[in-house]
Amino acid sequence: MLRFLTELFFDGATMRRLGLRVGLGVAAIVVLLIGLVFLLVAAEQAVAAAIGPVYAPLVFAGACVLLSALLYGIGTYAWRSRPRPLAAAARAGVVREGLAVFAALLRREPARLVFAGLVLGALAEYLQKREDKPDENS
């Protein structure tokens, strides 16, 4: 089935070129990583000549740990601050429905709305006093 789909969209020459491109891309990434390793080794040897062979690996290990923590923090921040259109639409829908209920209560029976306001005000006052009260255990 997969072979049929690939033959449907790609002919043999296109598949060979695509395979060659992917293979060359992977080879380029491997050579790049090897080059970066050699650069790090050369930098470590230069630092070792300056501060000593024991402290140079510690400096590079600490730098790698700090860099990884920084990258993790940036990734987490980017993930949490991404736009969430469905959540925003859901919040807007909840607000819209709440306003519709409020308007219906106001039109039909204003006394119930006043009573609900009194109950919610008392609940808010109770919760606020509970937050302001210092903890007796500490």
Per-residue pLDDT tens digits for 26-78: 999 999 999 999 999 999 999 999 998 889 889 988 998 999 999 999 989 98
- 111, part of any domain: yes
The verdict on 13 and 44 lying in the same domain is: yes
Distances (CA, A) of 31 to 22, 36, 43, 44, 48: 14, 9, 18, 20, 26
| 29 within 8 A of 37, measured Cβ to Cβ | no
The verdict on 115 and 76 lying in the same domain is: no
Band the pLDDT of 6: cuts 50, 70, 90: low
CA dist 4 and 18 (Å) reads 17
pLDDT surpassing 90 at residue 106: no
- 106, part of any domain: yes
Look at 57-61, 84-88, 121-125 and tell me which has the smallest mean pLDDT: 84-88
- 137, part of any domain: no
| 48 within 8 A of 56, measured Cβ to Cβ | yes
Instruction: Give the residue numbers spanning the domain of 15.
Output: 2-82
Token reading at 37: 């390793």
The count of structural domains within the chain is 2
Check residue 134 and give its pLDDT.
Answer: 63
The verdict on 31 and 69 lying in the same domain is: yes
The verdict on 34 and 71 lying in the same domain is: yes
The verdict on 73 and 116 lying in the same domain is: no
**Residue whose structure tokens are 């990434």:** 29
Which residue type occupies 41?
Answer: V
- 138, part of any domain: no
Alpha helix positions (H), 1-138: 2-9, 12-51, 55-80, 85-108, 110-132
**Residue whose structure tokens are 């969209």:** 9
The verdict on 51 and 73 lying in the same domain is: yes
pTM: 0.45
Band the pLDDT of 126: cuts 50, 70, 90: confident
